[in-house]
Amino acid sequence: MRAALERIWDHDLAYRFRRSPVTIAAAVLTLVCVGAALAAPWLAPTNPFDAAALSLNDAFRPPAWTPEGSAATPLGTDDQGRDLLSTIMYGARISLGVGLAAVLFALVLGVSLGLVAGYVGGRIDAVIMRVADVQLSFPAILIALLIDGVARVALPDDRHGEIAIPVLILAIGVSGWVQYARTVRGSTLVERNKEYVQAARVIGRHPFAIMLHHVLPNVMGPVLVIGTIHIATAIITEATLSFLGVGVPPTQPSLGTLIRVGNDFLFSGEWWITVFPGIALIVLVLSVNLLGDWLRDALNPRLR
Amino acid sequence: MSTPLLEVRDLRVEFPTRRGTLVAVDGVSFAIAPGEVLGVVGESGAGKSLTGMAIIGLLEPPGRIAAGEVRLEGERIDQLPHEAMRRIRGRRIGAIFQDPLTSLNPLYTVGRQLSETILTHLEVSPREARGRALALLREVGIPAPEARIEHYPHQFSGGMRQRVVIALALCAEPRLVIADEPTTALDVSIQAQIIQLLKRLAREHGTAVMLITHDMGVIAETADRVAVMYAGRLAEIGPVREVIHAPRHPYTVGLMGSIPKIGAGAGKRRARLAQIEGAMPRLTAIPPGCAFNPRCPRRMERCLRERPELLAAGANRAACWLHG
Amino acid sequence: MLAFILRRLAQAVLVMLAVGLIAFSLFRFVGDPVVFMLGQDATPEDRARVTRMLGLDAPFYVQYARFVGNALQGEFGLSLRQVQPVSRLIVERLPATLELSLCAALLALVAGVSMGVYTALKRDSWLSQALLALSLVGVTLPTFLVGILLILVFAVLLGWLPAFGRGDTVQLGWWSTGLLTASGLKALILPSITLGLFQIALIQRLVRSEMLEVLRTDYIKFARARGLSDRAVHFGHALKNTLVPVITITGLQLGAVIAFAIITETVFQWPGMGLLFIQAVTFTDVPVMAAYLCLIALFFVVINLVVDLLYYAVDPRLRIERGAAAH
């Protein structure tokens, strides 16, 4: 056990990690954000979704360090009297959750399609790549908007609330599968001609088994890098959609929703409702981005 | 020789890295006379190209000239400011690189690239520059130059491209051309043509050539003198006939022995290709004393301790204690 | 060359038809198409007339063909929310979006290229490090946050620039422009920066990395070896080779700019097509959604085509004429 830990510590990646203070800071920040978000139900001072506990008298209270603030609500309250800190933590939880789920969806979808396209080739490959090309010429956010909009239109209003988050995950996921598919397809095309794959085919293993057990582990490297970068993009996309009003339902506000709400009150002076969720979002996205950048550089053989 | 055109004394090129300083060229000295062709041979990594780049001032950072002198027609050029060195390049010292495809900018016509270089160095009108460009193309053997001058590099074949590159290197009439592996990327049949062209042009223009290559055949054809480099140092230097037929440094001996000769060994006794045991040391692991000593069949105790300077050895000079 | 153009045109038409199919499905099957055409308060006679006109019992492909025919004439029915012809709404809003998008794209190109060239040539200066950090911020921050931040600083705190709307516009035929009035120009500033920031950062990083790659090539080395001036090497050779891929990528990004205008217009309440689309989605105003979809698809397809042609025009290696093979 100790030997294994030592090996990890001395590994090239860990070495580079230790050497870069920016990355360490980013990792710590990410851990803090993620931890706070995940543990929101237990860590948050109040439960912002408990309608009974809310009182409009508490609304628009500024942060604790101002004269009208109170320590019970360190970052102030929003327009409905909810403690901002708690709401931000819950909101971050939703943002992270949706982001991660969407990336997972996109990854699974993209990797599968890429594997099939690269391994099987022929017509299937051509079709998949055509669709990918066409989809690539449109920006992801537009596609996400479209899917979300169509679902919104197609489904009756009352079912909206429950369906909203899965639809959102689907939308963001579908808008992002292409990058995985392309990379995996490229790698698969290369691996397909290698001897270990030929050997497996000669033995008579089923193509699915070959793809899953043999090819997949060898093409996952770049996928992980894409994934880490994609998380940040997915979080931003979710925040944007929520800000535009077509993301998460208002009963489960994410950071984007909070910013939207606060936007209406910028001019009347209640700046904290927008600024704090905004800062939280920036910190979250920045640290994930930095981690992804560092991972990309560390795994890039050309820069060594 | 009377005032040499180029004089290199104790040139030392270093690369500072995180793990210490690498010495890629270590105390190399030689001279080139006006109009002479000096061949520089050695294995990959021996420091030949770096020497050429150092002379023309194109070492890529962090590489730098750490010690020594480079003199062109008597004046020092290794410590010139950027702008002064730029004026020397092309005008007084030219260079040709290995791959003609990547040496030319794909977005400009050949004529444009020629005219630009001519106009940079010579005080002529654009029309005159174009006339010169045409003449140059004709001189390097490009057929139908009036049409070809408007063509892009990708429209030429490999051999023709290298001719264009040669034209570009010579268009400002430099006194010295550093040719770094000019034929390595070409087909064997084209190689001979290019070598002939270089020889002829050098003779006609009185241009000296520093011909860097690992191909001894090219050297034998073209050079007047040859310098053999090993692990960043000069092993032997002398007239080409002497170095090839009567090498004085054990490394050169090994080098000549490992060149296959057609028809060597008549009848039943066919000569075997001689091999030098081992490999050239990496820059980080150069042994003390003579760099060749681990592989040398004639090594003595002194070779392990003291690094030999270039010593007179017949018509050549060799860095070997055999001649000490 | 001609074959290439024809092939791309055919592709473009196919994409448009596919998008048209989606839009048509929206129009026909999600909600009531008769209401879409006539509005909520229509007489039974009108409804009967339109039902016949739309041929709602005709086979699918016939209806689709009619939809396409209508679309080509700009007929998308009436907006559910505003009870106006969709085509009129679009014509009203189009200039606002196009002006904003073009402004942002131009800003992004100029700023991005110059910053990219600077950070490539002067790699170690503090300004380069600062600009690189700034571009990281530009790539990281979501567009709407940038807009809100700018509003906070320049409109709320400093009060220099307006936070909403387009200012005063001048009507030139069917085009309304904000470029000819002082308030219109002032109103353009913050939204353009917001919309363009992501592009600036993207272009800067792209130009920088491309230029660094180009500066390492043999032909740059050879150009230096020929004694060409720094200016000739950096700008005449390196920059030109850098810009070839950059301009084409930027052209493709123009489409993204038009799409991202949705966000910017929402933040600044800019009366353009993006805001119209978002309002349509929120109110499930299907005719507007369908129309926006088709229009955006048209933009993208046209832009892609133009960029492909541009690539052809700029890079001589692609113009392989028959018979003039290398010799």
Identify the band that residue C223 occupies on the pLDDT scale cut at 50, 70 and 90: very high
**Residues A74, A63: contact at Cβ < 8 Å?**
yes
Confidence (pLDDT) at B282: 82
Q: Verify whether the Cβ–Cβ distance B90 to C228 is below 8 Å.
A: yes
- Token output for A221: 């490297």
Instruction: Report the relative pairing of strands B208-213 and B176-180 from DSSP bridges.
Output: parallel
Confidence (pLDDT) at A51: 59
Closest Cβ–Cβ partner in A142, A153, A244 for C30: A153
**Residues B207, B176: contact at Cβ < 8 Å?**
yes
Helix axes A255-263, A216-244, angle to 10 degrees: 20
Where is pLDDT greater, at C316 or B62? B62
Residue with tokens 């995950």: A169
Identify the band that residue C322 occupies on the pLDDT scale cut at 50, 70 and 90: very low
Q: Does C313 touch chain B (CB under 8 A)?
A: no
Q: What is the pLDDT of residues C264-293, one digit of tens each?
A: 999 998 888 888 888 888 777 778 888 888
Confidence (pLDDT) at A2: 67
What is the 3-state composition of chain A as percent helix, strand, coil, each rounded to the nearest 5? 75, 0, 20
**Residues A245, C278: contact at Cβ < 8 Å?**
yes
C-alpha–C-alpha distance, residues A152 and A146, integer Å: 10
Q: Verify whether the Cβ–Cβ distance C226 to B120 is below 8 Å.
A: yes
C-alpha–C-alpha distance, residues B53 and B210, integer Å: 11
What is the SS3 assignment for C262-317? HHHHHHHCCCCHHHHHHHHHHCCCHHHHHHHHHHHHHHHHHHHHHHHHHHHHHCHH
Q: Residues in chain A with pLDDT < 70?
A: 1-23, 26, 40-58, 64, 71-73, 153, 156-161, 298-304
Confidence (pLDDT) at B271: 60
Confidence (pLDDT) at A303: 46
Specify the DSSP element, H or E, that contains C145.
helix C143-150
Q: Verify whether the Cβ–Cβ distance C262 to A145 is below 8 Å.
A: yes
- Token output for C91: 């014509």
**Residues B153, B105: contact at Cβ < 8 Å?**
yes
Q: What is the pLDDT of residues B221-272, one digit of tens each?
A: 889 999 999 988 999 999 999 888 888 888 888 888 777 766 555 555 556 6
Q: What is the mean pLDDT of chain C?
A: 81
Confidence (pLDDT) at B125: 92
**In the predicted model, is pLDDT for residue B177 greater than 90?**
yes
Confidence (pLDDT) at A203: 84
Q: Nearest to residue A76, comparing CAs of A45, A49, A122, A104?
A: A45
> Once rounded to an integer, what is the mean pLDDT over residues B86-106?
90
- Give the type of residue at B154: H
Q: Does C231 touch chain B (CB under 8 A)?
A: no
Q: Is the dihedral of CA C112, C114, C115, C119 positive or negative?
A: positive
Residues of chain B neighbouring C327 (CB-CB closer than 8 A): 156-157, 160
Q: What is the pLDDT of residues C184-199, one digit of tens each?
A: 888 888 999 999 998 8
Q: What is the pLDDT of residues C142-157, one digit of tens each?
A: 888 889 888 888 888 8
C-alpha–C-alpha distance, residues C225 and B95, integer Å: 6
C-alpha–C-alpha distance, residues A173 and A186, integer Å: 21
**Residues C220, B96: contact at Cβ < 8 Å?**
no
> Once rounded to an integer, what is the mean pLDDT over residues B159-188?
89
Share of chain B above pLDDT 90, in %: 33
Q: Verify whether the Cβ–Cβ distance C240 to B107 is below 8 Å.
A: yes
Chain A interface mutation, best of C129, C269, C281, highest count of A Cβ atoms under 10 Å: C281
**DSSP codes of every residue in A51-100:** GGG--GGGTTPPPTTSTT-BTTBTT-B-TTS-BHHHHHHHHHHHHHHHHH
Confidence (pLDDT) at B71: 92
Upstream peptide bond of B100 is cis (omega within 30 degrees of 0):
no
**Segment of B199-203, C76-80, C244-248 carrying the highest mean pLDDT:** B199-203
When mean pLDDT is compared across A93-102, B33-42, B221-230, C78-87, the lowest value belongs to C78-87
Q: Verify whether the Cβ–Cβ distance C263 to A139 is below 8 Å.
A: no
User: How many CB atoms lie under 10 A from the CB of residue C96?
Assistant: 24
Q: Which strands form B311-313's sheet, in the order they lie side by side? A: B93-96, B176-180, B208-213, B37-41, B225-230, B233-239, B316-318, B311-313
Q: Nearest to residue A142, comparing CAs of C167, B58, C292, B107?
A: C292
Q: Verify whether the Cβ–Cβ distance A243 to C144 is below 8 Å.
A: yes
- Token output for C48: 């009967």
C-alpha–C-alpha distance, residues A49 and A80, integer Å: 11
Q: Verify whether the Cβ–Cβ distance C282 to A246 is below 8 Å.
A: yes
Task: Look up residue B320 and give its DSSP letter.
Answer: -
**In the predicted model, is pLDDT for residue C315 greater than 80?**
no
- CB burial class (10 A; 0-12, 13-18, 19+) of residue A7? exposed
C-alpha–C-alpha distance, residues A91 and A87, integer Å: 6
- Give the type of residue at C270: W
Identify the band that residue B310 occupies on the pLDDT scale cut at 50, 70 and 90: confident
In this complex, how many residue pairs, one in chain B and one in chain C, have their CB atoms less than 8 Å apart? 84
- CB burial class (10 A; 0-12, 13-18, 19+) of residue A218? middle
What is the least distance, in Å, from the CA of A73 to any CA of chain C? 23
Identify the band that residue C326 occupies on the pLDDT scale cut at 50, 70 and 90: very low
**Residues A288, A30: contact at Cβ < 8 Å?**
yes
Q: Verify whether the Cβ–Cβ distance A246 to C263 is below 8 Å.
A: no
Where do the structural domains in chain B lie, given as residue ranges?
248-259+275-324
**DSSP codes of every residue in C159-228:** --S-SSS----EEETTEEESTTSHHHHHHHHHHHHHHHHHHHHHHHHHHHHHHHHHHTSHHHHHHHHTT-
Confidence (pLDDT) at A88: 84
Confidence (pLDDT) at A53: 62
Closest Cβ–Cβ partner in C225, C244, C327 for B90: C225
Does A contact B via 3+ CB–CB distances below 8 Å?
A: no
Q: Verify whether the Cβ–Cβ distance B58 to C240 is below 8 Å.
A: no
Closest Cβ–Cβ partner in C218, C227, C317 for B103: C218
Q: Does C321 touch chain B (CB under 8 A)?
A: no
A280 Cβ contact list (under 8 Å, min separation 6)? A33, A88, A91, A92, A255
Angle at C192 (CA atoms; ends C190, C196), nearest 5 degrees: 120
For C268, the closest chain A residue by CA position comes to: A263
Q: Nearest to residue C68, comparing CAs of C10, C25, C37, C9?
A: C25
**Residues C56, C97: contact at Cβ < 8 Å?**
no
Confidence (pLDDT) at C327: 45
As for the ipTM of the complex, it is 0.85
For A149, the closest chain C residue by CA position comes to: C281
Confidence (pLDDT) at A158: 62
C-alpha–C-alpha distance, residues C309 and B73, integer Å: 53
Write down the pTM of the prediction. Answer: 0.77
> Once rounded to an integer, what is the mean pLDDT over residues B302-315?
85
What is the least distance, in Å, from the CA of C80 to any CA of chain A? 13
Residues of chain C neighbouring B168 (CB-CB closer than 8 A): 222, 226
Q: Verify whether the Cβ–Cβ distance A266 to C289 is below 8 Å.
A: no
B287 Cβ contact list (under 8 Å, min separation 6)? B281, B293, B294, B304
H-helix segments, B34-157? 48-56, 82-88, 100-103, 110-121, 126-139, 145-148
Residues of chain A neighbouring C15 (CB-CB closer than 8 A): 134
Residue with tokens 């705190």: C157
Where is pLDDT greater, at C266 or C31? C266
CATH number for the domain formed by residue range(s) A20-34+83-303: 1.10.3720.10
Closest Cβ–Cβ partner in C278, C293, C296 for A244: C278
**In the predicted model, is pLDDT for residue B36 greater than 80?**
yes
**Residues C37, C70: contact at Cβ < 8 Å?**
no
